[in-house]
Amino acid sequence: MATHTQGGRVHATPGADDLAEGRIVNVQGGDWDQEMGELGMNPEERIVLNMGPQHPSTHGVLRLILELDGETVTEARAGIGYLHTGIEKNMEFRTWTQGVTFCTRMDYLTPMFQEAAYCLAVEKVLGITDEVPERASAIRVLMMELTRISSHLICLGTGGMEMGATTIMTISFRERERILSVIENITGLRMNNAYIRPGGVAQDLPHGAIDKIREMVPQVRKGIGELEKLLLENPILKGRTKRVGELSLTGCTALGITGPVLRSTGLPHDLRKLTPYCGYDKYDFEVITRTGADAYDRLAIRLAEMRESLKIVEQVTDELQRNPGPVMVADKRVAWPSQLAVGGDGMGNSLDHIREIMGTSMEALIHHFKLVTEGFRVPPGQAYVAVESPKGELGCHVVSDGGTRPYRAHFRDPSFNNLQAVAAMCEGGNLADVIVAVASIDPVMGGVDR
């Protein structure tokens, strides 16, 4: 059979001559020992397997370069950059408020956390952290905790599907739809929301939102209970996840790993408790830890964290119902319009709101125009703010030169740091366990590559 080249590499059938770059063989499936015997390959010969970047189990366009000894992984490396979009660089050419629409797209499963970290950093440089209304901070907490549940459901659902448990995915996505329905009702979008703005949030909760949330919470809590019954005591799942992808506290500390991966080692590291922001210190919730430091414990932690998030959501909705108020800072030099309303056609701002802007005064209209087109100025300085995202510490470092645009905006995405654990988790284990280990890290390549 003929030898052919593709993209500079040679793909040969059995019997082709060895090349300088190594022998390359396409295996279509079947029993491994039989395939190797038919190929006449030396059992000690090194086999390098490219998993991805287009693969259903790599959580995006991640490339894993795996060196194998039979079914055992002897070396694992992660190849990233396939989803690089230049978000951080693009933010330097947009106003401070427009930057929200870029960073929300990084980790597309946790948009509210990027928005919150960025806006908290901008507010810190502006010196208006204490001026953000309590209601706006409470709404931010509400949206972040809803997003945390949504992200964990995706992690559990896709991880279950990769192990062959389709029911886990259908239940997870069913419950996630309930969450997204509420988020869409409040922000107008299911993802890429650009809802959290410097100084507050884009608009207050619409009429009936509190009732929708209170109706949703028990339904999602019931769905989490279904997942727990299907997963936690399932002997097949335990066999696939126990003692798989292990990473000790020492390893986590050396690699800068945070989130559920770190908490599975027994360390209760959660920024919501350690350095509270947005008023998290007012709410009653537990930091979930376990000590197995494996894929099973990370799964169990995420299930328990969703229950804690629902507890926070219930507390926030009670607070929002008791305490009406503004959702944007009073300083009109910074505050974008936040008391918006949707028109009768379901699009844009209502005519009443447009009349109010245009009818107040010519100066008000000019100010509104300049604020939106040019943006507000931020004093020279820099700030770093970190929040506890579903995947770990998500930090934002912004630098201002005194202009209307960021001089620099840089994000510490937890998926980027956590992905360094691939080698430690996978080397020495089976090829099939790579899928489980990567799923337990829960990386999202939009955040890794940026």
* Whole-angstrom distance, CA of residue 450 vs CA of residue 447: 5
Within 10 A of 348 (CB to CB), how many other CB atoms are there?
Answer: 12
CB neighbour class for 431 (10 Å; exposed up to 12, middle 13-18, buried from 19): middle
Instruction: Respond yes or no on whether the N-terminal peptide bond of residue 14 is cis (omega within 30° of 0).
Output: no
Label residue 169 by pLDDT band (50, 70, 90): very high
Answer whether residue 113 shows pLDDT above 90: yes
Answer whether residue 5 shows pLDDT above 80: no
pLDDT score recorded for residue 418: 92
pLDDT score recorded for residue 57: 66
Q: In 26-91, at which residue ranges do the beta strands (DSSP E only) sit?
A: 47-51, 63-69, 72-79
Assigned token pair, 417: 């740091």
pLDDT score recorded for residue 15: 44
pLDDT score recorded for residue 12: 39
What is the average per-residue pLDDT within 168-173? 92
pLDDT score recorded for residue 50: 84
Residues 277 and 419 sit within 8 Å (Cβ to Cβ): no
* Whole-angstrom distance, CA of residue 240 vs CA of residue 389: 26
Assigned token pair, 276: 């509270």
Label residue 310 by pLDDT band (50, 70, 90): very high
pLDDT score recorded for residue 19: 45
410 strand-pairing partners: 397
Question: Each residue of 25-57: pLDDT tens digit?
Answer: 666 666 666 666 666 665 556 788 888 777 766
Residues 179 and 216 sit within 8 Å (Cβ to Cβ): yes
Residues 294 and 318 sit within 8 Å (Cβ to Cβ): no
pLDDT score recorded for residue 89: 92
* Whole-angstrom distance, CA of residue 227 vs CA of residue 391: 20
Mean pLDDT is lowest, of 54-58, 191-195, 238-242, for 54-58
Answer whether residue 4 shows pLDDT above 60: no
pLDDT score recorded for residue 206: 86
What is the average per-residue pLDDT within 255-259? 92
What is the average per-residue pLDDT within 306-317? 94
Which H or E element spans position 328? none
pTM over 0.75, yes/no? yes
What is the average per-residue pLDDT within 235-256? 90
Look at 258 and 343; give whichever has higher pLDDT.
258
pLDDT score recorded for residue 380: 94
Query: In whole angstroms, how far apart are CA 243 and each of 41, 152, 233, 297?
Result: 32, 21, 15, 10
pLDDT score recorded for residue 13: 41
pLDDT score recorded for residue 9: 37
pLDDT score recorded for residue 82: 87
Residues 381 and 125 sit within 8 Å (Cβ to Cβ): yes
CB neighbour class for 117 (10 Å; exposed up to 12, middle 13-18, buried from 19): buried
Mean pLDDT across the chain: 85
Mean pLDDT is lowest, of 27-31, 332-336, 426-430, for 27-31
Look at 99 and 353; give whichever has higher pLDDT.
99
Question: Each residue of 339-398: pLDDT tens digit?
Answer: 666 666 655 666 776 777 777 767 777 777 888 888 889 999 999 999 999 999 999 999
Label residue 118 by pLDDT band (50, 70, 90): very high
Contacts (Cβ under 8 Å, ≥6 apart) of 393: 258, 259, 271, 386, 387, 412, 414
pLDDT score recorded for residue 339: 65
pLDDT score recorded for residue 180: 93
pLDDT score recorded for residue 331: 83
| Sheet with 47-51: strands ordered across | 47-51, 63-69, 72-79
Look at 172 and 373; give whichever has higher pLDDT.
172
Q: In 141-265, at which residue ranges do the beta strands (DSSP E only) sit?
A: 196-197, 200-201
